[in-house]
């Protein structure tokens, strides 16, 4: 174990090969939390390495070390795995909710290892939510720079203007916040209700709802049908299905699987 400060001139890969893996990254790979949240756990003094509290993210973990978080032993990272989950509405995407609302993770099968979500779906949204045992992978797949498209089916109350929907492809500013290009097309309309397909690359907090409200449309149902190459398909509501390792390797080739 070593918690000496790291010379920024050192090559990260070479350092980790020689000295083990940085503890925040190790915790992320173990599915405890994202790398950023793992650093918060360190700062709060909740992490012990071989029964010694560690707070510096440049602490290294090597084979055979024992790591605990809040008194619970953490299993060493295994093979990176990814699951598709059909999230029902009425669940929050968090491990603990201060308001006592039911969470996604409370409803998952007990046979699953500890997992983190790739992004979130809000309380009233449903559809595809990716889950992984590797927090570092989750963070990577959330980044807009990977170019993955998030696609949604949206039911709205109101009269969508196809021209205004098309204009979203140039981006839009809502309440001072600039959103990137959004592909939106009217699928069907019956009375005061319409279905719209929306595709975007950023997926900011409540982005679809805010943009639709900006157009005078009230979202009554929001379903994510795909996230990058991964599709909701016919996965039943509330069910979880693991992405085959071969598919994960093909779609995220640089990650260890």
Residue 122 appears among annotated catalytic residues: yes
C-beta neighbour count of 57 within 10 angstroms: 18
For the residues of the chain, what is the DSSP string, one character each? ---PPPPTTS-HHHHHHHH-EEHHHHHHHTTSS-HHHHHHHHHTT-EEETTEE---TT-EE-TT--EEETTEEPPPP-S--EEEEEEPTT-BSSS--TT---BHHHHS-TTS-S-EESS---TT-EEEEEEES-HHHHHHHH-GGG-PPEEEEEEEES---HHHHHHGGG-EEETTEEE---EEEEEEEETTEEEEEEEESS--TTHHHHHHHHTT-EEEEEEEEEETTEE-TTPPTT-EEEPPHHHHHHHSTTS--
CB-based burial label for 247 (10 Å; 0-12, 13-18, 19+): middle
Q: Which of 122, 134, 161, 192 is catalytic?
A: 122
Question: What is the C-alpha separation between 67 and 64, in angstroms, rounded?
Answer: 10
- Give the count of alpha carbons within 13 A of 128, CB side only: 23
**Residues classed as catalytic:** 122
């Amino acid at each position: 174990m070593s918690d000496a400060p790291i010379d920024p001139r050192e090559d990260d890969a070479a350092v980790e090969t020689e000295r083990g893996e940085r503890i925040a990254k190790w915790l992320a790979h173990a599915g405890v939390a994202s790398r950023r949240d793992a650093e918060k756990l360190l700062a709060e003094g909740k992490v012990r390495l071989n029964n010694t509290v560690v707070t510096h993210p440049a602490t290294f973990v090597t084979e055979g070390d024992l790591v605990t978080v809040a008194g619970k032993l953490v299993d060493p990272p295994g093979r990176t795995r990814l699951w598709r989950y059909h999230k029902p509405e009425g669940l929050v995407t968090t491990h603990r909710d201060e308001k006592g609302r039911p969470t996604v993770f409370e409803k998952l099968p007990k046979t699953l290892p500890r997992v983190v979500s790739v992004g979130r779906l809000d309380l009233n949204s449903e559809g595809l939510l990716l889950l992984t045992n590797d927090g570092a992978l989750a963070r990577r797949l959330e980044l807009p720079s990977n170019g993955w498209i998030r696609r949604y089916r949206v039911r709205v109350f109101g009269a969508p203007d196809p021209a205004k929907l098309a204009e979203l492809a140039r981006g839009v500013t809502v309440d001072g916040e600039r959103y990137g290009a959004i592909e939106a097309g009217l699928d069907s309309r019956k009375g005061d209700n319409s279905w719209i397909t929306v595709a975007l690359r950023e997926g900011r907090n409540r982005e679809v709802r805010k943009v639709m409200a900006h157009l005078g449309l009230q979202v009554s149902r929001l379903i994510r049908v795909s996230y990058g190459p991964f599709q909701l398909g016919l996965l039943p509501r509330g069910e979880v299905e693991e992405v085959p390792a071969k598919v994960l390797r093909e779609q995220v080739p640089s990650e260890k699987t």
